[in-house]
Chains A and B, each alone.
Chain A
Amino acid sequence: MIQIEHLSKTFGAITAVEDVSLSVAEGQICILLGPSGCGKTTTLKMINRLIAPTSGTIRIAGRDTAELDSVTLKRSIGYVIQQVGLFPNMTVEDNICVVPNLLGWDKTKSRKRAAELLEVVALDPAMFLQRYPCELSGGQQQRVGVARALAADPPVMLMDEPFGAIDPINREVIQDEFMRIQRQVGKTVLFVSHDIDEAMKMADCVALFHDGRIEQFGTPDDLLAQPASEFVASFMGGDRVMKRLRLMRSVDVASQVPPRQGGSPAQLVVKPGDDLRQVLSQLLGCGQDWALCNDSEGRFVGYVHQADILARLADHTTPRVH
């Protein structure tokens, strides 16, 4: 859906982005991850040409964006920023209708769309359509921000640290909420973040930036299991094995092999959706080496053995660091 080839940006003598290439398939979330000043935001802004690239090509759905008029291009891409950027002089409804109005949609159609989108982001239209941004909490504002970006149903969404200004508890909530919306709308999303946990949780693929270049591009598990350089390894952190466990669910390792005879009786029951870090932590906590995995109705799914969890990690245990 999005193909970026040899993209570079220089500001005077400073190279902000150097020879970046990556491609994102339709419906995937790609997270541009890295410390501040690494060029990830510049890369994002070159996609809707808020910043003009110095060299390189960007294709969206096979079309070179350089051939498109800059205003048309921007109207066809959803954009969400950390400061939300809702216009304080407009109601929630008018904010959501900005792009439809620019595109010349019929009034009734764009109003209906605004109400629909508030439902999607789990805000009651009757209550919120006529409110002003200053009457909303930070989390509610960002939901409206997402609704506004979705208004004209763009296939591609760019998000610049959208949840960075929200407190940790609400951030988790809104991340889950966004994942639910994404399952519903299936957009191709490019998402800038410096929060590694957020990236591991949400991304289908991750591009880790360092000094304007991509250090490594791959799935979250690739980056955790096989960091391509010292920088990647240190950025992903010393606990990256534990982070990998968070990416796996107990159903992934549940087996039909029963625990050996004469062992202790089952003390621990886990759900198929529980992540393995949680399961392993519980196993270590009660000194067991296996747990029962039952679904929400209590039906038996399999046994989760500690040995199987460790074997899973062994897939990639030799890091590629030299």
Chain B
Amino acid sequence: MPEFISRLSVGLERYWGDISYLSVQHLQIVAISAVLALLVALPLGVWMSRAASQRHAMACMQFLNVGQAIPKLALLALAMSFVGVGSGAAIFALWVATLLPVAVNTCEGLRAVPRHLIEAAEAMGMTPAQVLWKVEIPNAMNVIFAGIRTALAINVGTAPLAFLVGGGGLGELIFTGIDLNDFDMMLAGAVSTALLAIAVDLACGLVQNLSVSRGLRLAGRV
């Protein structure tokens, strides 16, 4: 253990310039793929939860499941063969990997809003859009955020593989470290990736706390 710590500190010190440069690159890939995934998955989840689209929703869910079932490395290889070498392939593969948890949780969260709340909202004269924005989404917020956090954890953790398709990121330190049998370099990349994942999750938790109503947080505590 003392050896681990000393080698880690050596690694961090020696590769600090690389870490700070690659972390930004890493986060860029994560941010672009995650934002694109949210833009698609959130509306998709809302659409799948509507009673009118039940039949198509099942097919859609199966499709997303297939996307999730394919190993991430295979997904990257496939993406590379379509998009070519570079960060584009990495972003596409991470985008696919992030879709499912967000879409499924959005859909399930909305479906789990108690039927009587929706009925009360309708009976008071809310239009379907008002029911969605004022009642359904605020009350499904915790479940939706659980999906986003799962997706981001997968995304940040998978992003080192981007190096293999020429996408850059902290994977560069990890894989190069393995190839050169340079333990310090590998450790510097791995620990930075882990810390980055924790930081992203904490930031997301903060946003969750700000956007979930106090009434729901109090109710959750009981």
Collect the chain A residues with CB atoms within 8 Å of residue B215's CB.
88-91, 132-134
Whether A81 contacts B125 in the complex (CB less than 8 A), given A90-B215, A132-B218, comes out as no
Q: From residue 163 to 222 of chain B, which have CB atoms closer than 8 A to chain A?
A: 213-216, 218-219, 222
| Closest chain B residue to A79, Cβ basis | B123
A202 at the interface (CB under 8 A from B): no
- Distance to closest chain B CB from A96 (angstroms): 11
Question: A99 at the A/B interface (Cβ < 8 Å)?
Answer: yes
Contact mask A122-147 → B, CB, 8 Å, 1/0? 00000000001111000000000000
Size of chain B's interface in residues, with CB distance under 8 A? 25
Name the A residues within 8 Å of B126 (CB-CB).
71, 98, 102
Interface string of B113-135 (1 = CB under 8 A from A): 01011011111111100100011
Interfacial chain A residues near B120, Cβ < 8 Å? 79, 81, 85-87
Residue in A75, A89, A91 whose beta carbon sits within 8 Å of that of B124 in the complex: A75
- State in angstroms the CA–CA spacing of A134 and B114 once bound together: 15
B67 proximity list for chain A (CB < 8 A): none
Q: How far is the CA of A148 from the CA of B125 in the complex (A)?
A: 13
Alpha-carbon distance between A89 and B126 when the two chains are bound, in angstroms: 16
Q: Which residues of B contact A173 (CB under 8 A)?
A: none
Q: Main SS of the interface on chain B?
A: helix
**Please, which residues of chain A bring their CB within 8 A of the CB of B122?**
50, 74
Q: Given A81-B116, A83-B114: A48 and B139 within 8 A (CB)?
A: no
B216 touches A48 (CB 8 A): no
Question: Counting CB contacts under 8 A, is B86 at the interface?
Answer: no
In the complex, are the beta carbons of B125 and A88 less than 8 A apart? Answer: no
Residues of B within 8 A of A90 (CB): 213, 215
- Residue B157 lies at the interface, judged by CB distance under 8 Å to chain A: no
Tell me whether B138 is interfacial, beta carbon within 8 Å.
yes
User: Which B residues lie within 8 Å of A83 (CB)?
Assistant: 114, 116
A108 interface hit (Cβ, 8 Å): no
Interface residues as binary, A83-121 with B (CB distance below 8 Å gives 1, 0 otherwise): 101111111000000110010000000000000000000
CB of B96 to closest CB in A, whole Å: 32
Measured CB to CB, the nearest residue on chain A to B117 is: A85
Residues of B within 8 A of A85 (CB): 116-117, 119-121
* A72 interface residue per 8 A CB criterion: yes
A262 to B139, CA, bound (A): 75
Task: Tell me which residues across on chain B come within 8 A of A132, comparing CB atoms.
Answer: 213-215, 218-219
Please measure, in the bound complex, the distance between the C-alpha atom of A134 and the C-alpha atom of B214, giving whole angstroms.
10
Beta-carbon nearest neighbor of B123 in chain A: A79
Q: Which of A79, A86, A99 has the most CB of B within 10 A?
A: A79
**In whole Å, how far is A198's beta carbon from the nearest beta carbon of chain B?**
20
Q: Which of B123, B134, B216, B219 has the most CB of A within 10 A?
A: B123
The answer to whether A75 and B135 touch (CB under 8 A), given A50-B119, A102-B130, A132-B218, is no
> Do B124 and A102 have beta carbons less than 8 Å apart?
yes
Q: Are the CB atoms of B216 and A89 closer together than 8 Å?
A: yes
Mask: chain B, 30-67; 1 = CB below 8 Å from A; 0 = not:
00000000000000000000000000000000000000
What CA separation (Å) do A137 and B121 show in the bound complex? 21
- The reply to whether B219 and A88 contact each other, CB–CB distance below 8 Å, is yes
Q: A87-B117, A87-B135 are in contact. Are A99 and B218 (CB under 8 A)?
A: no
CA of A132 to CA of B117 in the docked complex: distance in angstroms? Answer: 15
Q: Are A134 and B222 in contact (CB under 8 A)?
A: yes
Query: In whole Å, how far is A251's beta carbon from the nearest beta carbon of chain B?
Result: 41
Most buried by A among B135, B213, B215, B218: B215
Partner of A79, one of B124, B141, B216, B222: B124
Query: In the complex, A153 Cα to B55 Cα: how many Å?
Result: 42
Residues of B within 8 A of A86 (CB): 120
By beta carbon, the residue of chain A nearest B118 is A85
B219 neighbours in A (Cβ, 8 Å): 88, 132-134
A75 & B119 in contact (Cβ 8 Å cutoff): no
Interchain CB contact under 8 A, A48 and B123: yes
Residues of B within 8 A of A81 (CB): 116, 119-120, 123
Closest to B137 in A: A89
Tell me which residues across on chain B come within 8 A of A50, comparing CB atoms.
119, 122-123
B contact residues vs A (CB 8 Å cutoff): 114, 116-117, 119-127, 130, 134-135, 138-139, 141, 213-216, 218-219, 222
A-B contact pairs, 17 of them (CB 8 A): A48-B123, A50-B119, A72-B125, A75-B125, A79-B120, A81-B123, A83-B114, A85-B120, A87-B121, A89-B135, A89-B139, A90-B215, A98-B126, A98-B134, A102-B125, A148-B124, A158-B123
What 4 A-B pairs have minimum CB-CB distances, sorted nearest first? A85-B120, A75-B125, A132-B215, A74-B125
Q: 17 more A-B contacts (CB under 8 A) besides A90-B215, A102-B130, A134-B219?
A: A50-B119, A50-B122, A71-B127, A81-B116, A83-B116, A85-B120, A86-B120, A87-B134, A87-B139, A88-B117, A88-B216, A88-B219, A89-B138, A98-B124, A102-B125, A102-B126, A135-B218
Measured CB to CB, the residues of A under 8 A from B are 48, 50, 71-76, 79, 81, 83, 85-91, 98-99, 102, 132-135, 148, 158
